[in-house]
Structure 1
Amino acid sequence: MTRVCLIGNDDVNLQYELLSRETSREALATYDLRRPFENSLAVRTVSVGAAVTLLNDLQWYLTRFVDTALVQEPSISDEEWLSRSLATQLRNGDVEPRETDEFCKVYGLERVDRGEPNAAAERDGDGAEDTQDRADDSDAENGGDREADATLRLVEPLYVRRTDGELPAYDLREVEETLVVRLTESEYSP
């Protein structure tokens, strides 16, 4: 299954914004919602094409509330994500799967105590609690390796280029884990 993950802007509660509006709520109604990162929303779709279509359906909301839209296609990588632009190029046949790994953005993943106050948590409502419950279930399904009282936050992306099959190490801050997002060449060097 192809995964889609939306990372909200810092100044909004993404779950609230998407689930409180009829059109986006209806677009997401058939999906099992997850929250793998702080202020995020993730779903599973049947293909890259379905993932890109969902993102296109949510475009109005993505423009206003989403910082980053990611797609993960298991036939390409079980661990690395694709940017929305790269997923679209892949779906359209403009790029071959083996040509997607050169340009990357690596995020640090930082553990955050769920009890830590933040602007997004203060505005929870209209289904956000239910979404968090399902996110907790997802953590358990994924091996339960995350602490029950912590969540992960994406921090400071590092733009890198894969050479000889290897990515440079993330060195912007001390983190235990990283998240790799494959990019188009134009996203890598705007």
Structure 2
Amino acid sequence: MEHVRMNKTLGRLGVAAAATAMVVGLSGLPAGAGDISGNIMVTGEATCDTATGTWDIEWTVSNDERIPQLTSTPSGIDFPFLTATIDDAVMSGAATGTVADLIGDSVGPQESTSATVTGIANATGDVMLTVDYSWGEGEQTYSGVAVGDVTLDGSCTPPPTTSAPSTTVEPTTTTAVAADAVAARPTFTG
């Protein structure tokens, strides 16, 4: 009798395991896949424009998520749960403003997008870029925030201005002779 109960229990476990395997197999993604929140990175690189003495910052948003290795991929499958869409990108700290060129960009697995902010004058200190992003589709849409920063060290200064050598113009005096004015004097007769 115990032998029969054990077979029924093992049989039920086998059915449950098979059902779980089928659900995971049908989803096409391993457990935990689709949460890209830890894989969106923001980096910045500051360079000095020596002609103007202003900073340029190239901001890059990258998605380090890897596409799961599937034994077979059904046709028409894309990975909306692995692609981030940038909803907002705001600088704060030593320089402020919105990085509009990033907003609306989509960043798929192992991809990146970048934009450069130019002409940041008289800035010293940390500049942070906060990126709000979302991923998923339909009712299963999620959001996250990623932050990157760069330090502007104050070494970006405009080149020294050189003034043209001054030339002094000596005042001159001009004397006009009115010799012809005598001949033009009217004469009266009469």
TM norm structure 1? 0.21
Higher relative contact order at CA 8 Å, sep ≥6: structure 1 or structure 2? 1
User: Which structure's CA Rg is the greater one?
Assistant: 2
Structure in which a larger fraction of residues adopt strand: 2
Structure in which a larger fraction of residues adopt helix: 1
